[in-house]
Copies of this chain bind each other. A is one copy, B any other.
């Protein structure tokens, strides 16, 4: 996360997106740095059958889409506003200039990329070698630490739909529903009027 003052110094603009608006598309060349002011953004891929895989979900203060920007490669996924969202947008050249002038920001970027790489490493191993129960629990426990799940008297509220959990873990929605029920029976989580708590 880069401070507002710094971004403004380098000519950032604000842009609003409605729910379901496309921010950028897979295959496009990156031209900007994006940082969320408010709202929620998902990055995802669709395969030939229209099946979705969610690479990540981003919230207030988080940036997204930097890797291909640094590599001059095409976006490997789409970025879509999950709800009405406001975003800081900085042209690539200005962003590079900002980094050159402010070495400490580079360290922030490194930490952010490191965090995302860490998540992807964990989930990649989960998706390819573990059963549904393990995958879902791992995602939920990661979410408690890094997505914005709120704690109340029942525990952490996992505010993902069953479909989203499926799209993040590579499982079908029916499988997620059944898996969550099994996990409830085993006492690993609670279901209180259809909402999942951990």
> Which A residues are closer than 8 A to B by beta carbons?
45, 47, 51-53, 55, 66-71, 73, 76-77, 99-100, 103, 106-107, 109-111, 113-118, 120-125, 127-130, 169-170
A29 to B42, CA, bound (A): 31
Binding site of A, secondary structure by majority: helix, strand, loop or mixed? helix
A103 to B125, CA, bound (A): 33
Q: What's the least CB distance linking A72 to chain B, in Å? A: 10
**Smallest Cβ-Cβ distance to A77: which chain B residue:** B121
- A127 interface neighbour in B69, B114, B118, B124, Cβ under 8 Å: B124
- A118 interface neighbour in B76, B118, B123, Cβ under 8 Å: B76
Given that A106-B106, A110-B109, A113-B114 are contacting pairs, would A121 and B170 also be in contact in the complex, using a CB cutoff of 8 Å?
Answer: no
A69 to B107, CA, bound (A): 13
**Smallest Cβ-Cβ distance to A70: which chain B residue:** B114
**Smallest Cβ-Cβ distance to A169: which chain B residue:** B128
Q: Which residues of B contact A70 (CB under 8 A)?
A: 110-111, 114
A120 touches B118 (CB 8 A): no
**Smallest Cβ-Cβ distance to A74: which chain B residue:** B118
Q: Which residues of B contact A116 (CB under 8 A)?
A: 117
A-B pairs with the 3 shortest C-beta distances? A128-B170, A103-B103, A106-B106
A53 to B109, CA, bound (A): 28
A117 touches B124 (CB 8 A): no
A127 to B124, CA, bound (A): 8
B117 touches A117 (CB 8 A): yes
Q: What's the least CB distance linking A198 to chain B, in Å? A: 20
Q: Which residues of B contact A106 (CB under 8 A)?
A: 103, 106-107, 110
B114 touches A55 (CB 8 A): no
Q: What's the least CB distance linking A13 to chain B, in Å? A: 24
B66 touches A114 (CB 8 A): yes
